[in-house]
Structure 1
């Protein structure tokens, strides 16, 4: 996860560190490390796909998506909201299976519960460039 282009941050340093660690797990494509950031009943919406409920199903879906790419890296631009409900804008650098790198803008809205775990994750992104 890169923060070199970060312009606006409206969350605490603790939440920014949580977000950085969460996306380090994503960028490493480490499903079990990523799971530690999700509540058991977390719900996820990725692009125009149906909502997935419960972290076991989320992890299965994420693993399936990661099998279709070689790698990814998030570069955050803005993080707006508060420590329990925020939006993170990023450019995601995807390395496709043919080694072509494409940059795709996206926004993720995360809601966290009292324990600090993600209870809702909504990822707004068009993944079409990854598969062209």
Structure 2
């Protein structure tokens, strides 16, 4: 079961660590988002990634929250597709979004896109 809840405000939670993570790109807007498990139990799809540092595996999203991606990227798409499916059903920001509308990308793609992310 995937557990989703409203994210705390950036003031309450300025930094977060994601495990079992992936980076996805929305096919319609080309936005990059971190997807993963927070606190070993809560699934998260972040707001769009604003910058990403491949060397430290940290990135900041458009909300201003800083994420650290811990461990290796999630292998395969089963967990990511389940998270996207649940968010598509339960989250207003992701309403109607399905796994077919996103693609999993390598961290190097996010790092290369990083300078251009803020100008979009």
Q: TM-score, normalised by structure 2?
A: 0.28
Q: TM-score, normalised by structure 1?
A: 0.26
- The answer to which structure has the higher strand fraction is 1
